[in-house]
Amino acid sequence: MKILMLNNEFPPLGGGTGTVNRELLKRWTRASNLEIDLITSALGHEYQTEQFAERVRLHFVPVNNKNLHHSSNRELATYAARALPYALKLQRAQKYDFVFAWSAVPAGAVALVLKKIAGLNYLVRVCGPDIPGFEERYGALYPILTPMIRATWHNAAHVVAKCGDEANLIRRVDARVAVTIVPNGVDLDAFTPAHIPDAGALRLLCVARLIERKGQEHLIQAVKRLTEQDIDVVLDLVGTGDARRANEQQARDLGIADRVNFVGYVPREEIAQVYANAHVFVLASYNEGMSVATLEAMAAGLPLVVTRTPGTKELVQENVNGLLFDWADVDALTAHLKFLAMHRDIARAMGHASRELAQQFAWEDVAARYGELFWEMGVDATVRQRIGREASGA
């Protein structure tokens, strides 16, 4: 079975979607019946290819990317414009069974055109911001993009969401869309459970791009309030993004620059140690699908303090492995962190529960679920080809 994948991001470029793509590719390399070509964005200015595994090839198209962790509208458009002719060239040589688009924008738009031109069926996995209304900073663009996004969903063999709440967001945009749910996963073997001591500074960890939607400004405010109450805390912010300068200035203005560490980008091979050094994972995000960072924190045995967003109910059992709060509710966030700082035994129990719950999200199970969809689409492709041959008298 030959699959063409489209994803404008792939590590080290981008965020969770690229990470999920890479982790699943690792599992699919074990399937002798799969041959995969992935078209993604180049970090440089040249077209490149790379052999990821024996039957998996990566194809990089240049988009003149300016930011390792965030694609601009121009870069998304450039990816679509260059991925389409490249995909058509590959299709003429490889004759794929179907296309896997890792987002509705821009990958889904390319897949839609491929279906119209080359007759290739496709599935599209939503990434979150490609759902109209998901992210406030794209508010002005959603009215322009929504007709194309809906067309992408309607023409797909499968529209895949990561959780029930994300599926509901899709249905609010278009109730006619049938959604298949396949969660994200985590590699438990890659993470060592963290040790939460009885005393000393409580180490808070947030792994997320530094953008407004992720809510680091609210977390910094909570750290300020905790220090005012003589609660010893240190915050590590892992990631970078457009809001970094503003976040750094906020920490300085609040007089807690020594309490907030801007760690920046951490390579994947080093990220497990970052979780192992933490005591509590915090994500103050406005919206998520199913956070890869939260799953990793669970695998690392950390208690969770996160906002009520899509995907939360699948990952967080309140008062069992974590505590929840509403977006921008700094009072509740501060109270939760103070509670865990003063009750380390409960923090450890929650961390243990996180590790146990993470076992339900093994990458191998996720890969197998996608494999069922692949088999179905591969059979459909074979049937369509046979019908085409019979219709032509071949």
Q: What is the DSSP string of 155-198?
A: T-SEEEESSHHHHHHHHHH-TT--EEE----B-GGG-PPP---S
* Largest pairwise CA distance in the chain: 82
- Per-residue pLDDT tens digits for 98-149: 999 999 999 999 999 999 999 999 999 999 999 998 877 777 889 999 999 9
Whole-number pLDDT of residue 385? 52
In angstroms, the Cα distances linking 208 to 161, 192, 250 are 20, 20, 18
Task: Tell me how far apart the alpha carbons of residues 245 and 206 are, in angstroms, rounded to a whole number.
Answer: 17
User: Mean of the pLDDT values across residues 332-339?
Assistant: 98
Among 344, 301, 351, residue whose Cα is nearest residue 193: 301
Whole-number pLDDT of residue 71? 78
User: With contact defined as beta carbons under 8 Å apart, do 210 and 243 qualify?
Assistant: yes
Whole-number pLDDT of residue 333? 98
Sole residue written with tokens 């690392």: 300
What domains can you pick out in the chain, each with its CATH number?
A: 2-185+362-392 (3.40.50.2000), 188-360 (3.40.50.2000)
How many helices (H) and strands (E) would you count in the chain?
13, 14
Task: Tell me how far apart the alpha carbons of residues 278 and 273 are, in angstroms, rounded to a whole number.
Answer: 9
Percentage of the chain exceeding pLDDT 70? 96
Which residue would you say has higher pLDDT here, 394 or 313?
313
Whole-number pLDDT of residue 16? 87
Q: What is the pLDDT of the chain when averaged over all its residues?
A: 93
- Per-residue pLDDT tens digits for 11-59: 988 888 999 999 999 999 999 999 999 999 998 889 999 999 999 999 9
**pLDDT higher than 80, residue 349:** yes
- Per-residue pLDDT tens digits for 203-239: 999 999 999 999 999 999 999 999 999 999 999 999 9
How many CB atoms are closer than 10 A to CB 90? 17
Q: What is the model's pTM?
A: 0.89
Task: Tell me how far apart the alpha carbons of residues 90 and 263 are, in angstroms, rounded to a whole number.
Answer: 40
* Spacing of C-alpha 85 from chain mean position: 27
